[in-house]
Amino acid sequence: MTKTADFISICRLEQLERERGATALVAGHAVAIFRTYDDQVFALGNYDPFSKSSVIARGIVGTRGDIPFVASPVYKQAFDLRTGACLDDAGVSVPAYEVRVEDGLVLVGPRKR
């Protein structure tokens, strides 16, 4: 169990549009938060290693097979929302963070292992 203290609250769930991303500032880092069609919430590092810019939250959200993903808005590489793994380039990934939704609040926690 992760302690609640490691999670910080970001925004209310309804502030997030479905199948879109928003950028949050978490411990000084830009983090991309996504709300999927079925109201799951995921968090990835916002920095796109391909374009070297802070843009992941602005990509299109969808599915590849059963995998929920976001496509970088710059060169369109797909990242798995659950793990941060790049689906188009096996060696590359972005950090993925733990997320909880409690009482309508979106909380982002530590980096997933």
Partner 1 sequence: MSTRKTLVVAGHGMVGHRFVQAAIERGLTERYDVIVYGEEPREAYDRVALTSYYEVGADALSFLPGGKYEDPRAVVTLNTEVTAIDREAKTVALSDGTTQAYDVLVLATGAAPFVPPVPGKDLKNVFVYRTIEDLQAIEEAAKTAKAGVVIGGGLLGLEAANALHKLEVETHVVELAPRLMAVQVDDAGGATLKRHIEKLGLTVHTGVMTEFIDADKDGVEDGKVSGLKFKDVDEVLPADIVIFSAGIRPRDQLARDCGLEVAERGGILVSPNMQTSDESIYAIGECAAPGGRMYGLVAPGYTMAEVAVDALLEGPGEFLGADMSTKLKLMGVDVASFGDAFATTEGALELVYSDAVAGVYKKLVISEDCTKLLGGILVGDASSYGILRPMVSSGIALPENPEDLILPASRGTAQIGMPDEAQVCSCMNVTKGEICKAIHDEELTDVPAIKQCTKAGTVCGSCTNILKNLLTEEMEKSGKAVDKSICEHFAYSRQELFDLIKIGQLKSFDAVVEAHGTGRGCDICKPAIASILASQFNGHVLDNKTTGALQDTNDAYLANLQINGTYSVVPRIPGGEITPEKLIVIGEVARDFNLYTKITGGQRIDMFGARMEQLPEIWKRLVDAGFESGHAYGKSLRTVKSCVGSEWCRYGVQESVAMAIELELRYRGLRSPHKLKGGVSGCARECAEARGKDFGVIATEKGWNLYVGGNGGAVPAHAQLLAGDLSKEDLLKYLDRFLMYYVRTADRLQRTSTWIDQLDGGLDRVKEIVLHDSLGLGEELENEMARHVDTYFDEWKATIEDPEKVARFVSFINAPGTPDPNISFTEDRGQIRPVTFDEPVSLGSSIPVGAPQ
Token pair 């798995």 is found at 80
From the CB of residue 50, how many other CB atoms can be counted at a distance below 10 Å? 14
Residue 43 lies near partner 1 (rule: CB under 8 A) = no
Residue 92 lies near partner 1 (rule: CB under 8 A) = no
CA 96 to chain centroid, in Å, comes to 7
Residue 73 lies near partner 1 (rule: CB under 8 A) = yes
Identify each DSSP E strand in the chain by its residue range.
8-12, 20-26, 29-35, 41-45, 47-48, 53-54, 60-64, 67-71, 78-80, 96-102, 105-111
User: Which has the closest alpha carbon to 48: 73, 24, 83?
Assistant: 73
User: Which residue among 42, 45, 86, 96 contacts partner 1 (CB under 8 A)?
Assistant: 45
Q: Rounded CA gap, 40 and 58, in Å?
A: 18
User: Which residue among 41, 44, 61, 96 contacts partner 1 (CB under 8 A)?
Assistant: 61
User: Which residue among 25, 102, 110, 111 contacts partner 1 (CB under 8 A)?
Assistant: 25
Tell me the number of residues near partner 1 by CB under 8 A: 48
Shorter beta-carbon distance to partner 1: residue 54 or 83: 54
Contacts to partner 1 by CB under 8 A? 8-12, 15-20, 22-30, 33, 36-37, 45-47, 51-55, 58-65, 68-69, 71, 73-74, 76, 78, 105-106
